[in-house]
Amino acid sequence: MGNMNKGFFTGFLLGAAAGYAAALLTAPESGEQFRDDIRTRGIQLKEQAQDLTEEAQLRAQELEKKAEATIEEERRRLEQTLAEQKKKAEEVVKRAGDVAEDAARRVQGGDS
């Protein structure tokens, strides 16, 4: 998870907890009921945080797989392009050699 997402997530959880605590403090409940509510809400927030963490990990894994597949595809395309360019270069070298041999024969034979 990026720093910005992590910061947002942390801020979201802290804001939610602070808002809930403020609501509980202003509500007319007994001390024991208040503590039970805070405990219950804390458990719920922890579960939500775990769920969000698991979801983020799954998304990161999916993105990693997609990136690996893209990299592999690009590697294959690059290898194919390199093989094609090598073949073309070899053909050019061969043609240049043929032209040079032809020119040498003409010079030796006196052909114009």
The CA distance from 66 to 73, in Å, is: 11
DSSP H stretches of helix in the chain: 3-26, 31-109
Q: pLDDT tens digits for 32-84?
A: 887 888 889 889 988 999 999 999 999 999 999 999 999 999 999 999 999 99
Q: With a threshold of 0.85, does the pTM exceed it?
A: no
Q: What is the pLDDT of residue 19?
A: 80
